[in-house]
Chain A
């Protein structure tokens, strides 16, 4: 089978909150010496559709990817999807649901700012916010600062936006997993020990999460991750083995937004040293 030297299966482009366009992602993948990579934008597959025609046989191999933000009664999750058909209605319906939820949330925030604090923005600025694929608190915060409603983006978030009670629907982990599977893809739990990115989930909590997600159809865990210590990698590796899951490796590269280098996944050694769960994943995908 074909072997690989440097891989990175988790990164973001301007389609979500990265600073590289999909084309620049490909260029950087080549410059970073990757021979296998996946683009995993938040809640969207457009970046992959853009990169696929640019992939050349003598360049790095590419896997379609996505990172869905999910939530259920037990908490928040990021679910990665790999190797899906980007034209499949199964995955596109999850993307659409996510987009509608985000737009609903944006409207609820703008209404809340007007109702609670009397802050209003021009139609042009509101349209601009709606044109952003994933408009969050930082985008609104920047606008508030521009209008002089807040001293800084952080002030806007801490003292205004975080005080608004915005109720919103969520994509559930089950919907995301089923959407990925229905499009022929493999669902993988992103940075498992860090939950949706800002939690710490270990031991029994991790076990409970996995039990449930595996029931929904989860097939893999991101065992190697730029933000993990060796101890966390070992812990995630043991969980993946216990549940018979594929293993993946990702940096969570965001361009110049975060200071993670592309290819910095915590994975060391050569292909032969990599755990079977990772080699099996690559065998199936690449």
Chain B
């Protein structure tokens, strides 16, 4: 029973053509006879092919039983339903291919999922959230938008089941992440920085039509209000005021811009893991970059190795050189100022994240949060604006 209504499930099997469509129709109608307008689910998991004779049977049954849907359609069968307009007139649910990530190399990790290489040409991003179909749709939409606006990225072409989670599959031919290049080929350090900065400037130089991406400022205002409960009042108020004074900015930002999310595919540099794409002032991006390269490893300098594969010294150097390239200056005072402003937002974000992940329940977590808090309050004493 679905919503109190009787549901009848009918399996569709093998190949349905003019040879067996008529007997299928008789079979379906005899199963439905005597029921009072039930909901009908056609389970297509074992359906290999359906010809137009079969489509007509479904159309006729749908006319008598309007509450009819098709589930578990294979990609090939789904294509037929889509081409013929069946997907527009009834619910047709796709079956998701199952992919195993056992023994697969992890090539990227972001806020919402982990990316594995499943074969030479394909990678799968496995989402942390087990009910990720909406997230996957969102990421696909924003990645398409970015591509249309001129940002080189990979668009997922399939959704798969990975254990109990969902994954989206991308084609990424012979690609390797910048983290891997930095770990294995230290002589390419300067080249990596240059490409990293160039992509960052391209992203931040892209104006996004209104309403197409979330506004980072709204998210950051939420962080500030969360932090009010965890900072002395004058610091909580000041943090909120500083963030609130950052003007709206309609330029694109990535939101998780570190070297594991930058891929070199042949000669082309691609940015991946687009689900955090937003619009906002560059200080928000710099805050997240600082965290990736230094912030998360400030208490435990070994942490970065697990995450990026290279050591904290490489992370620090990469951050500083990228910042200099991005700002177009070697002036240490200027670099320190912008870094400090990014750190203010960066600490607020890390503290909130850690507390929400039960950081206050362990000694290590508490010590880390204390360290970040003391840095944050020092910085809040020093600066009266986050703009640069």
Residue positions of A touching B, CB distance < 8 A: 154, 157-158, 162, 193-195, 197-200, 202, 226-227, 229-232, 257-260, 264
Contact = CB atoms under 8 A, between A and B. Distances in A.
Contacts of A157: 19
Contacts of A198: 17-18, 51-53
A260 B22 CA distance: 12
Given A158-B19, A202-B83, 10 more contacts: A154-B23, A198-B17, A198-B51, A199-B52, A200-B84, A226-B56, A226-B60, A231-B88, A259-B25, A260-B60
Given A158-B19, A200-B80, A259-B29, A229 B85 contact: yes
Contacts of B63: 264
Given A154-B23, A230-B85, A197 B18 contact: yes
A227 B55 contact: yes
B89 interface: yes
B254 to A, nearest CB: 38
B55 to A, nearest CB: 7
Interface residues of B, number: 23
Nearest to A235: B85
Interface in B35-71: 51-53, 55-56, 59-60, 63
A259 B80 CA distance: 23
A193 B85 CA distance: 12
B20 A193 contact: no
A202 B85 CA distance: 12
A162 B85 CA distance: 32
A238 B23 CA distance: 34
29 contacts: A154-B19, A154-B20, A154-B23, A157-B19, A158-B19, A162-B19, A193-B52, A193-B84, A197-B53, A198-B17, A198-B18, A198-B52, A200-B51, A200-B80, A226-B59, A226-B60, A227-B55, A227-B60, A229-B84, A229-B86, A229-B88, A229-B89, A230-B88, A230-B89, A232-B84, A232-B85, A257-B22, A260-B60, A264-B63
A88 B23 CA distance: 39
Interface string B283-325: 0000000000000000000000000000000000000000000
A260 B52 CA distance: 15
B65 to A, nearest CB: 12
